[in-house]
Every structure is written in C-alpha cells, then in structure tokens.
Amino acid sequence: MSELVSTPDRELRDNDLDHSELSARLIGLWHTPSGWLGRLATVDHKVVGKRYILTAFAFLALGGILAVLMRLQLSGAERKLLSPDLYNQVFTMHGSTMMFLFAVPVMKAFAVYFVPLMVGTRNIAFPRLNAFSYWIFLFGGCFLWGSFLFNAGPDIGWFAYVPLSSLQFNPSKRADVWAQMITFTEVAALAVAVEIVVTVFKQRAVGMTLDRIPIYVWAMLVTAFLVLFAMPSVMIASTTLILDRLVNTHFYDTASGGNVLLWQHLFWFFGHPEVYIIFIPATGMVSMLVATFARRPVVGYTVIVLSLIATGFLSFGLWVHHMFATGLPQLGASMFTASSMLIAVPSGLQIFCWLATLWDGRPVYRTPLLFVLGFIAIFVLGGLSGVMVASVPIDMQVHDTYFVVAHFHYVLIGGAVFPLIGALYYWFPKITGRMLSERLGRWNFWLAFIGFNIGFFPMHILGLMGMPRRVYTYTPEMGWDHLNLLSSTGGVVFATSFVLLIFNVIHSLRRGELAGDNPWDASTLEWATSSPPPPYNFSRIPVVTHRDPLWADAGNLPVVAGLSVERREVLLSSVADAEPHTRESSPEPSIWPLLTAIATTIFFIGSIFTPWAVVWGTPPIAAALIGWFWPSGTKEDEE
C-alpha cells in the first residue's frame, strides 16, 4: 500500500481507519441525501448515469413506437393509418429522437456511470455540471415530445435542410422546436464531453498509464473530443436558422446573398462525426466484452487504440459524401470518397483484432457475446454498403432511396444498438446487483437478430427498385408491396425483442440471480468494487500495475492510502504516466444545477417566440449560476 505525503497537522485520513470504520465514514461523506430534495440535488455520477440510461431508453421506446407506426403505414400500398402531415412529423421525430435523445445520450450515460469506475476514481470530474447536463437533456427531450403531442412536432427531417426549414416554407413553430431541441441536447453533450476528458486525463488510478487505460475508456475519450469539435458546428447551424426565422437575418436566404449549401456543410460537419460519436463507444464496449468472454486480453491493444484515434480524425473528413448530389466539383468530391473508403481500414483492423481474440481465446457464448457476434455480422454488411455509397456514381443512383435507409440502419443498429444491448446484459449486474435472465437473453438476441435482418435487408432491394425515402405511401403499381410487408413484419419482430428486453429487466430486478462483485470474472476496475457500487466507488483507491488489473492482481489489488475522510476528495494524477499529483476536493450535492437548468430551459424555449427572451431570460440564469458558485462554507470551499 503506497501512502500519500502527509503533513503533521493533517486531517483524518483513510489509512488511520480500519475497513468498516472507513466504509461508514465514506458513506456518510458520499451518500446521496434522502428525500426528494436530496435526490434532485445529487451529484453522484452513478445516480445521474442511471437516470441518463433510463431516460435514453424511454426515448428509445418512444422513437421505436414511431418506427412501428411508419412500418405499419408502409406495410401496404395506399394505407391511411397516418396522414401525410403526421407522417412528416413522425419520421422527423423518429430520426431526431433516435439520434439526439437516444443514441448519443445513451452512450454518454454509460460513460457517466462507468468511466469513473473503470479509471478507479470516486466521482466524475465536475459532478455538478454532470447533473446540469442531465436536467438539460431531460428538459430538451420533454420539450420536443411535448411539442409533438400538441401537433407542433418538427416535420423537416432530422437534418432540417433549408430552404424547407426556412420561415417561407415552414411558417409554424415546428422548425424552431427542432432547432432549439438541438441546442438543449448539444449543451448536455458538450458538458459530458468536458467531464469525460478531464476524468480520463486527470483522475486515473495511480499506475494507469496511457497504455493501461481500458479500451472502452479510450473510446469514450476519443468520442468526447469528437463531441467537442463536432457539436459546435450544429449549434451554430441551428442558432443561425433560428436567427433567420426570428429576427430576419439572411444566412440561408439566397435572394439576399445567403447560401443554402452552408447549412448542409455545417450540419454534416457535425452529422457525420455524429455517426462515429455513436459508433466509437460501441466498439469500446465490444472490446471489453470480447476480452471478458474470450477469457484473454484483447489482441492488438495498440492497434485498437490506433484505430479509435484514426477513426476519430477521419470522421471529420467524410461529411461531403452526404452532399454528392448537390453538384460539387468532382475532384473535391473525390477527396471525400477516398477518406470515406479508407475509414473502413481502421474499422476493419478492429474487427480482425476481435476475431483474433475470439480465435485465440476460450469463448463463453453468453448473451453479451451473442450480441457482439450479431454486431460483427450486421456491421460488416453495413460497412460494405457504406463503401458502396462512398462512390459518387453509386451514391447518385441510390441517393434518397431506401438503400440508404437500409445502409444506415445496418450501421447504426448493427454498429451501436447490438453492442449496447450486449453491454446492458454485461453491466446490468454491476448496476443493480442482479443478473439478467440468460434464457430470456438468448430469446432476446435471436428475435433481435432475425427481426432486424428481415426488417432492414429488404430495404436494400426496395432502394434499388427506386423506392424513395420519406414517402408516406405508394401506389400498388410500383410493385413494392411484398417487400414492404416483409420489412414491416421484421420490424414488428425486432420491436418484440425490445419488449422482451424490458420484461427481462423488470423481472430480473426483482427475481434475478444475485450477481456478486465480478460475475463474469472480468479484468477491469469496475468489477473490483461491490455490485451495485457504494456511493464512494472504492474504499481505497486502487493502484494499477497491469492492463488487466483484476486478472494480474486477482484478490490482492494494491491500493493508495492517504485520502481525507473529512471531505469528499479525489486523487489527481499525471496525464501520461498516472503518477499521483494532488488531492482535490469533489463538489457536494447542490440544487443549483437543477435551478440553472430550469432557467436555461425558460431562456431557450422563450427565445423561439421572442428575441426579448434573450434579455429577460439571462438574469435568472446569471442568478442561478451565482447561487451555484457561491461559497457556502463547506469543506470543499476551504481549500
């Protein structure tokens, strides 16, 4: 046990106490206060993470219901379940919900919960910002769905192209709702990105050098940087759109010198990295699952990290492939074709590493690994059709057809949702202390895998037959009925798999087998603590001497001693070598993040109705921030 340097008149430290005394002290320090006010004020990353996960899955359910509605509408020619106007809202709400309210937030949610545990610290960096981020995300999502329920849901596609979204063609508030929902969710995403970067760089356990960071944590670090550089672009886009609509600026008004292609550039400069903001965390999950269930360290750690970083950089060089049909110069477009095709190289490297790990290991085919295998099969198919549409001539042929719908669902569901569900089965025992049912899990997987392929593979053919995206119906003469019916049937089967998942979760929460600390015999630090983890995560901060610490130091993990037990404290370490640097206080619970989020919500929503909201909406935010940072005489402020 290594001991931090102490001063003669020091406060009580953890090495002065035995285990039971220490645990009791730490619970007193780190627990979430009781009562509704305490729960609203919590800054525990695990509590916030669970809220994030639950909320994101609730939005998945809502977006999924919309998907089923669309598939029922399209299951035969000239069906009249949805009107054209409602269909426009439904497909826009589906895309916006899945991208902004489910896929990105759920990846952040898992990171908020697990990154601090995996790097061996007691809380995420800037925990009050974390709480603020969740509230802003929740309010933004409720705002979007509340608008939809009042027939003011956006109807402009999840990309909101101008001039369709301009005041001239969309005079109601629907486009404003979309644009401001973007602001909500991006503020939330940026906040979490900052927290993740700082947590990974500065709060890693002693000895967790750069080449000992769990691959999932690497993936989230790369993702956080992607968020930091990609999201401002769409915030600028949505803000300028609102300005055009509300105060008559002319960013996108061609008659006054504006440029509609500027919108597409700004949107897709965010929109393509967005795909990787969803995909890269999923690959991190896959690396963790493959190593655990292959019973060996993942093959090619360095290659996988290299692939993550290269994918992150390359993802910013692909956006124009969404704009091939806009008449850009061919040489310019070819630059993006080249990088779009070559991004398959790092993705392919990762897949070979995972296959090699499975080949050289002793795989145990439990439900999480089944979802990983499903991911590999589906994602490879999605990647292949991606390489196809990276080519300008093919893209021009299938642009805006169901071929593209099939492609991106193969990439996003295969590449992100399958690993995510696998990760849910994997980490559920850590979060709840109980195992999910393995039998229901296998049913869940096969229903999802079969339903997904029946649902989405026919869309490739429909696209090649010329069926365009975003049409609310079609005539019988087109000959698309049978494939659409097949697709809708698969969609319902796929949806059923999620119903089974929900049932499994509810059933297992009550009656699931008790998990124990490390039910999978996994190697990373989140499994070194109890299931579910205590409020303080680790009674003593672990020291890492190996890339797979629980396999190398099974049952005898070295620890650091010397942290205060009189205030919330985390240990800061150096960026590259994770050498201990200093002890730092960690903020206590506060209601101000919630109040700030409420003030910000009023500001955001008000500003789509009147520009004066910027004037009267600012003082409440300023007041809330002053309250947030006001010295309160706590131990945290005494440093």
Partner 1 sequence: MNAIDAYRNPLYWAGVALGPAAFAVNQQTVYAITAQACNAAVSPAVVLSVLMALVAALGALVSFRAIRRDAAAEWAEAQGGRARNFMAWLGFGSGVIFALVIVDQLAAALMINPCLR
Contact residues toward partner 1 (CB under 8 A) are 207, 209-212, 297, 301-303, 305-306, 309-310, 313-314, 316-317, 320, 327, 329-332, 334-339, 341-342, 345-346, 545-548, 552, 576-577, 579
- Reference 282, options 342, 354, 229; nearest CA is 354
In angstroms, what is the minimal distance from the CB of 394 to partner 1?
Answer: 16
Q: Closest CB to partner 1 among 316 and 443?
A: 316
Helix (H, G, I), strand (E, B) or coil at 573: strand
Nearer to partner 1, 66 or 389 (CB): 389
Q: How far is it, in rounded angstroms, from Cα 585 to Cα 582?
A: 10
At 325, list the tokens: 């049909």
Q: Are 85 and 151 a contacting pair, CB within 8 Å? A: no
Name the minimum Å distance from CB 211 to partner 1. 4
Decide whether 37 or 575 has the Cβ nearer to partner 1: 575
Integer Cα distance of 103 and 114 in angstroms: 17
Beta bridge partners of residue 2, listed in sequence order: 560
Closer to partner 1 by CB, 54 or 396: give it.
396
Phi/psi for 581 (5° steps) reads -110, -55
DSSP H helical ranges for 3-119: 19-30, 35-41, 45-74, 84-96, 104-119
Output 210 or 492, the one with its CB closest to partner 1.
210
Long-range contacts of 165-172 (CB under 8 A, 24+ apart): 165/241, 166/241, 166/244, 166/245, 166/252, 166/253, 167/244, 167/245
Minimal distance, residue 317 CB to partner 1, in Å:
5
Helix 592-606 vs helix 174-202: angle between axes, to the nearest 10 degrees?
150
In this complex, which beta carbon is closest to partner 1, that of residue 34 or of residue 302? 302
Rg (CA), the chain: 25
CA distance 551 to 535: 25
Closer to partner 1 at the Cβ: 90 or 333? Answer: 333
For residue 290, give Cα distances in angstroms to 294, 295, 298, 339: 6, 8, 7, 28
Tokens 């600012």 correspond to 618
| 320 versus 398: smaller Cβ distance to partner 1 | 320
Smallest distance from partner 1 to CB 310, Å: 5
Q: What is the nearest approach in angstroms of partner 1 to the Cβ of residue 543?
A: 12
Give min distance, CB of 254 to partner 1, in A. 19
- Output 318 or 369, the one with its CB closest to partner 1: 318
Residue closer to partner 1 (CB basis): 341 or 461: 341
Nearest in space to 459 (alpha carbons), one of 408, 388, 384, 397: 408
Residue-wise DSSP of 602-618: HHHHHTTT-TTHHHHHH
Around 550, how many Cα atoms within 13 Å sit in the side-chain half-sphere? Answer: 21
Q: Is the CB of 313 or the CB of 446 nearer to partner 1?
A: 313
Residue 128 structure tokens: 């009050």
Any alpha helices (H) in 433-480, and if so which ranges? 438-464
Q: In the bound complex, what is the minimum distance in angstroms from residue 576's beta carbon to partner 1?
A: 4
Q: Least distance to partner 1 from the beta carbon of 571, Å?
A: 18
CB closer to partner 1 out of 280 and 500? 280
Q: What are the residues whose beta carbons fall under 8 Å from the beta carbon of 303, sequence distance 6 or more?
A: 349, 350, 353
- Following DSSP, what letter does each residue of 234-276 receive, concatenated? HHHHHHHHHHHHHS---TT-GGGT--HHHHHHHHHHHHHHHHH
Q: Give 37 or 338: the residue with its C-beta nearer to partner 1.
A: 338
Where would I find the H helices in 315-401?
330-342, 344-360, 367-389, 392-398
Q: How far is the CB of 358 from partner 1 (least distance, A)?
A: 16
Cβ at position 163, least distance to partner 1 in Å: 22
> CB-based contacts of 108: which residues, under 8 Å, 6+ apart?
52, 188, 189, 192, 196
Q: Residue written as tokens 């949702």?
A: 417
Burial of 101 (0-12, 13-18, 19+ CB in 10 A): buried
What's the closest the beta carbon of residue 324 comes to partner 1, in angstroms? 12
> In angstroms, what is the minimal distance from the CB of 297 to partner 1?
4
Distance CA 459, CA 463 (A): 6
Closer CB to partner 1, residue 317 or residue 534? 317
